[in-house]
Amino acid sequence: MKKLLFSIIAMLLIGTTAVQAQGFKGKWFIMGEAGYSTQSDGNIQHYSVLPVVGTFVAPTTAIGLGVGYLGQKDKTVPNVVGKEEAFIVQPLARKYWGITDNFLIFGQAAVPLTFGKNTIDANGVKADSKFTGYGVQLSPGIDYFMSSHFSIEASFGLVGWSAVKPKDGETANDFNIGVNSGFQNGVKFGLKYIF
């Protein structure tokens, strides 16, 4: 058992060293990220699209900026449909750890800023309200390199705090811990090109 444990630890250390020796410092990346999740038997749907551009400021540390779209549709109340659509600007920072030369895990800290509109349609009568939001989100993820320039990744919200301010209303705060927390609910998948 001790030999197995020692072998696993040695492989993790060698994998981390290999990725750090390869290093990405000075390289740029373009990434597209998309997510979708449902709740309450499909009556609540969350979706997101977030293109990101970034650069590696150290061999295993990257910063970036995402600009995209978030949406939610809620049909839990009969004859009432609630929609939320938002434009998102999201600065982020990531730290990578190598497991093997092609497989990495990462931790991401992001500060999403949203600007959007809520629409409620109750039996054909519509009401709209605009809002702004901000928050902090911590997300773990995995990254698999298919080649030296392309990788696929998956991540999910682990810890999230957000505040939403309606145009004519009080700010509402939300804090979540666990899978699917934060501004962007659900597992997100992405494709990244490094150059």
Whether the predicted pLDDT of 187 surpasses 90: no
Q: Of 16, 50, 25, 49, whose CA–CA distance to 194 is shortest?
A: 25
Count the Cβ atoms, other than its own, within 10 Å of residue 120. Answer: 16
Q: How far apart are CA 58 and CA 141, in angstroms?
A: 19
Whether the predicted pLDDT of 20 surpasses 70: no
pLDDT of residue 182: 44
pLDDT tens digits for range 133-177: 999 999 999 999 999 899 999 987 778 888 888 888 787 877 767
pLDDT tens digits for range 89-126: 999 999 999 999 899 999 999 999 999 999 999 888 89
pLDDT band at 56 (very low <50, low <70, confident <90, very high): very high
Q: What is the pTM of this model?
A: 0.75
The larger pLDDT score, comparing residue 157 to residue 32, is at 32
Domains of the chain: 2-194 (2.40.160.20)
Whether the predicted pLDDT of 12 surpasses 70: no
Q: Which of 10-14, 121-125, 128-132 has the highest mean pLDDT?
A: 128-132
What is the SS3 assignment for 148? coil
Q: Which residues contact 181 (CB under 8 A, 6 or more apart)?
A: 137, 157, 158, 159, 160
